[in-house]
Structure 1
Amino acid sequence: MTDTADFFASRRANRIAKAALAIGLTLFGLWISSTFLPSLLWAAVIAIAIDPLYTRAECRWPAARRAVLPSIATVLIALLVLTPLALGVVEAAREAQALLQWLASARENGLPVPQWVAHMPYSNEIAGWWTQNLATPEAASHQFHTIRQSLLFEQSRLLGKGLIHRSVVFAFTLIALFFLLRERDAFVAQIRVASTRLLGPSAERIGAQVVKSVRGTIDGLVLVGIGEGAVMAVVYLIAHVPHPLLLGLLTAVAAMIPFGAAVLFGIASALLVGQGAVGWAVGVFALGMVVVGIADHFVRPILIGGATRLPFLWVLVGILGGVESLGLLGLFVGPATMAALMMLWRDLIAGAGGAMPAPDRPCPPDAAS
C-alpha cells in the first residue's frame, strides 16, 4: 500500500515538475523572441489572408509548393508593401525642391497675410498673429528656425532607430512568411493537435473563428479603406487638391483605422483653404465625412461583425485596443482575440454548443398602460 502511494506521489511530483519546467521554458522563450513576435504575428496574419488564393495555386501547381510558390508569394507581398512606399518617396522627392525654394523665399521676404484669412472667423486676430510672426523676414526666419530645432531630435530618432527597427521587422516577417507557407500543412496539424489537447472539442471551433475574424477584419478594414481612398482621390482630383493621388493613398491607409481618415480630410481642406478655395474645402471635408459614415456605420459592421460574430462595439474595442497595444498589427489581432474570448464566454454560459440562453424578463403588469 505504501509503495502504491509512493508511486502515485512520485508521478504527481513528476507532472508538477514537468509543468513548471514547460511554463518556465515557454516564458523564457517568449522573452528571448519578444523582439520578433510581431514579425511572426504579421506572417500569420498575411498567411491567413492569402490562404484561399495560395491553396488554389498549390492545387494547380503541386510540384512548386515546396520552394517556388512560397518564394513567389513572399516576393509579391514585399512588392505590395514596398511599391506604394517607393511611390510616396518619389513624390516627396519631387516636391522637396519646391519646398526648399518656398522656405528660402519666406526667409528672405516673409509671408504676407493670405487673402483667405479675411473670410475666417476671428480674422483680425489671425491676421494680427500672422503679421507679428510670419509677415516680416526676421519673424518668419525665427519661426522656421524654432520649428527646425524642435524637429531635429524627432527626425533623427525616427530615422536612426524607428526606421531600422521597422526594416528589420519587415525583413524577418518576409522570412517567417516564406517558411510558414512552405511548412503550412505541418504547422496546421501540430497546432490542431496541441489546441485540442489544451482546449478540448472547442479548439477546432475557436481556431476556425480566429481565421474567419482575421479575414473579416482584412475585408472590413483594408478593402474598405482602399475603397475610401479611391473615392476620395477622385474627390481630391475634382477639387484640385495638391497631390491628389498621394493624398488618396494616405487616406486609404488612414481609413483602415476607425476615424483616422478624418485627419486627411482636414489636411486636404487646409490645403484648399490655403489656395483660397474655402467652398471646396468645406465640400471635401463634408463629403469625406459622409463616405466615412457610410463605411464605418454600414459596410464595416456587416463585413467584420458578420465574420467575428461580435457586436460592432466589441469589434471597435478590439480594433482600438489592439492599435493602442500593438500598433498597426492590433488592427487584425485585436478583433480576432475578442472573437475568441467571446466564443469562450458563450461556451462557459451555454455549454459546448455555444447557444446563448433566451432572455426571460417579463414586463410589469402596468407596462401596457
Structure 2
Amino acid sequence: MNSRPPAAHPETKRPTHSLLTPERVKKQKAASLVLYIGLVLLALWVVRDFIPVVAWAGVLAIALWPLLRKVEDNRWLTGRTTLIAVVLTLAIALLVVLPVGLGIAQALREARDLTDWFKTAQENGIAMPDFIHRLPVGSQQLAAWWQAYLAQPLRDSAAMKGLHSTTVVTLGRHFGARAVHAVTVFAFMLVTLFVIFQAGPRLSGALVKGLRRGVGDDGAELVQRMAAAVRGTVSGLVVVGLGEGALLGVAYFVTGLPHVALLALITAIAAMLPFCAPVTFGLAALWLFSQGSVAGAVGLAVFGSIVVFAAEHFVRPVLIGNSTRLPFLLVLFGILGGAETFGLLGLFIGPALMTVLMVLWTDLVE
C-alpha cells in the first residue's frame, strides 16, 4: 500500500519571484528606509556624548587639510602618513597645553601674594585707591560706599562668611568636574584627529565619492563650500585673534603693565571671540588709571580700540567672506548666532550654515 501523499497539482505551484509585486517591493523599501533611519538614530544616541569630540576634530581637520596635503606632497614624507599624523596631532596638543600650562604656572606663582593680600583684607580691609577721588562724577558716593563696606576689616562681613559656605564648596566641585570633562574631551578629540590625519587622502576621496553618490554633484559642491566656510572662519577668528594679542601685547609692554606675556595670551584668546578683546584691554587700562598712569591708560584704550576696530570691520570679514563669498552681515550673524546656539563650536558651524542659505538663495534668484 502506497503511503506517500499525492503530488501537488502543477497549477498550485507559484514561482517565488511572482510574489514580489511592485506594491510589495515599495513597502519593503519603505520598511528598509525606516529601519536604516532608526538604526542611525540609535547609533547617534549611543555616541551622543562624543559628537562634540568628532565635531571639534572635524573643524581642526578641515582647517589644517591644505597643510596636510602640502606636507604629504613632500617627497621626503610621501607615504609616511602615520608620522605626519603624529607630528600634527602633537603640534596641536602643544599649542593648547603650553599656554594653559603657562597660565597655571603663573597663577601658582601669584597664589602666595594673593593669599597674603586676602589675609590683610580680612584683618585691615581693602585700602581705597587714590583714583576714586579723581573721578569726575560720583567720587564722593563711591568713596563713602568703599569706606562703609570695604575699608573696614572684612573678617565678619557677609561676603567673607559666604566664602566659607557650602556654596563655595559646591562651585569648586562643579568647576573640578567641568575641568575633568574638558580634559577628557580634549584627549578624545586628539585621538579622533590623529585617526583623521592618518586616513588622509583616502578619507577625503571616500567622502567626496559618497557625497556624489548620495546627493549628487550639487550636494557635494555645497558640502565643499561649507568646508571652505569652516576653514575661512578658523583663519578669521584664530589668526586675527593672535594678531590682536600680539599688537596689544606690545602696547602692554610699552605702558608698563606686569605679566605682559600672560595678558597678551588672554587678549589673544578673547579676541578670537567677536567683541571680547575690548574687555581685556579695557580692564588693563582701568588698572593703569588706578595706578595713576592716566596717559598710559588713555593711550592703551585708544590704541586697542583702533586695533580691534580694524580687525573686526576689515581684516576678519575679508578673511571669512572671501573664502565663503558671504557678505559681512551674514558672516556676523553666522558667528554670533552660531555661538549663541551651539556654544564655542557654533563660531565655526554658523558661517557654514549661512553658506547653505546663500547657495539656496543664489539658486532661487538665478
Match status 1:24 vs 2:41: no
2:154–2:160 contact (8 Å) kept in structure 1 = no
Amino acid at match of 1:103: F
Which residue matches 2:110? Answer: 95
1:106–1:140 contact (8 Å) kept in structure 2 = no
Distance 1:266-1:144 versus aligned 2 partners, 3 A rule: farther
Partner Cα distance (1:174, 1:103) in 2: 39
Q: 2:54 aligns with which of 35, 40, 46?
A: 40
More displaced 10-residue stretch of structure 1: 202-211 or 269-278: 269-278
Over the matched positions of the two proteins, sequence identity in percent amounts to 40
Q: State the 1:56 CA deviation.
A: 2.1
Match status 1:51 vs 2:58: no
Match status 1:86 vs 2:101: yes
Which residue matches 1:241? Answer: 257
Match status 1:133 vs 2:158: no
Q: 1:315 aligns with which of 331, 337, 340?
A: 331
Which residue matches 2:171? Answer: 154
Alignment of 1:244-323 (within 5 A): 244-323=260-339
- Deviation per CA, 1:250-305: give whole Å up to 9, x if none: 11111111101111122212322332323422332232122111101111111111
Q: State the 1:15 CA deviation.
A: 1.2
1:236–1:244 contact (8 Å) kept in structure 2 = yes
Unaligned runs of 5+ in 2: 1-16
Partner Cα distance (1:331, 1:249) in 2: 20
Partner Cα distance (2:265, 2:131) in 1: 28
Partner Cα distance (2:322, 2:46) in 1: 37
Partner Cα distance (2:241, 2:169) in 1: 32
Match status 1:69 vs 2:84: yes
Q: State the 1:9 CA deviation.
A: 0.8
Give the TM-score of the pair, scaled to structure 2: 0.89
Distance 1:155-1:277 versus aligned 2 partners, 3 A rule: farther
Give the TM-score of the pair, scaled to structure 1: 0.88
2:233–2:348 contact (8 Å) kept in structure 1 = yes
Alignment of 1:100-139 (within 5 A): 100-120=115-135, 121-138=137-154
Which residue matches 1:361? Answer: none
Match status 1:196 vs 2:212: yes
Partner Cα distance (2:156, 2:333) in 1: 44
More displaced 10-residue stretch of structure 1: 140-149 or 330-339: 140-149
Larger Rg: 2
2:123–2:155 contact (8 Å) kept in structure 1 = no
Amino acid at match of 1:326: F
Partner Cα distance (2:275, 2:255) in 1: 22
1:217–1:335 contact (8 Å) kept in structure 2 = yes
Amino acid at match of 2:317: P
Unaligned runs of 5+ in 1: 351-355, 357-369
Match status 1:10 vs 2:27: no
Partner Cα distance (2:241, 2:250) in 1: 14
Q: 1:163 aligns with which of 171, 175, 179?
A: 179
Q: State the 1:122 CA deviation.
A: 0.4
Partner Cα distance (2:154, 2:360) in 1: 65
Partner Cα distance (1:207, 1:113) in 2: 59
Distance 1:335-1:244 versus aligned 2 partners, 3 A rule: same
- Deviation per CA, 1:55-105: give whole Å up to 9, x if none: 12222212311x221111111111111111111111111111111111111
Q: State the 1:242 CA deviation.
A: 2.7
Partner Cα distance (2:263, 2:190) in 1: 28
Partner Cα distance (1:291, 1:102) in 2: 35
Q: Which runs of 4+ in 1 moved over 6 A?
A: none
Tell me the SS of whatever aligns to 2:60. Answer: helix
Distance 1:317-1:140 versus aligned 2 partners, 3 A rule: farther
Match status 1:224 vs 2:237: no
TM-align CA RMSD: 2.0
Tell me the SS of whatever aligns to 2:62. Answer: helix
Partner Cα distance (2:303, 2:118) in 1: 33
1:134–1:140 contact (8 Å) kept in structure 2 = no
Tell me the SS of whatever aligns to 1:112. Answer: coil
Which residue matches 2:12? Answer: none
